[in-house]
Amino acid sequence: MSFFPASLETLIDKFASLPGIGRKSAQRLAFHVLALPDEEARSFADAIVDAKTHVHTCRICQNLTEDEICSICASDRRDKGTICVVSEPRDVLSIERGREYNGTYHVLHGVLSPMNHVGPDDIRIKELLNRIASEDVEEVIMATNPDTEGEATAMYISRLLKPFQLKVTRLAYGIPVGSNLEFADDATLNRAIEGRTEMF
């Protein structure tokens, strides 16, 4: 049953096709867009086309960029000997937010997931291997998510990296800073005990 004009229905459908947006939310968003001034609605539409046209992946690290090489790979203040392997572009943002890490990144654009038919050729592993073969890399930090798929992906890639004889590390597991032992789950607590460090 459709009581909305066709072009409005189409817009609602488009919003509803986005992840995490149900039919009701899509309606609300479409009504909001309809209520925008003409110019703003058009600039929303332009933003979609612009991003789609200008954004592509960095030739080196596969992160999103508008240039051939992203700002991190292009910077001469970053340590090119360390590569932090993450699954998504947003993970780069998370690590950069800490202002601690000074190496470069490699964005896989996914994780291995046999259930979803994502195999090694579907994510940017080949590009990582080419990079390690041609650049002077000392350490690769596996920073995929600490879940089953992220774990398996880190394991898979670390095996591929073995022949290169470089340092391959994994992000530390443990209790989050500022959290409460009471609410930590068993797996995390066990990992925190296993990975305990000497205080002096």
Handedness of CA 157, 159, 163, 165 (dihedral sign): positive
CB 66 → its own copies: shortest distance, Å?
4
Q: Are 131 and 106 in contact (CB under 8 A)?
A: yes
CB 61 → its own copies: shortest distance, Å?
12
Residues in region 59-98 near its own copies by CB under 8 A:
64-66, 71-72, 88-90, 92-93, 96-97
Return the number of other C-beta atoms located less than 10 Å from residue 147's C-beta. 10
Residue 19, both tokens: 């992840």
Regarding 113 and contact with its own copies (CB under 8 A), the answer is no
Distance of CA 134 to the CA centre of its chain: 24
Q: Are 168 and 142 in contact (CB under 8 A)?
A: yes
Q: Which helix (H) or strand (E) holds 52?
A: helix 38-54
Considering only 22, 51, 173, 190, the residue that binds its own copies (CB under 8 A) is 51
Q: Which stretch binds its own copies (CB under 8 A): 16-24, 115-123, 129-137, 186-194?
A: 16-24
Residues in region 28-47 near its own copies by CB under 8 A:
28-34, 36, 38, 41-47
Q: Quote the CA–CA distance of 16 and 150 in Å, as a whole number.
A: 28
CB 137 → its own copies: shortest distance, Å?
22
Residue ranges that bind its own copies, judged by CB under 8 A:
1, 3-8, 10-11, 13-14, 18-21, 25, 27-34, 36, 38, 41-55, 64-66, 71-72, 88-90, 92-93, 96-97
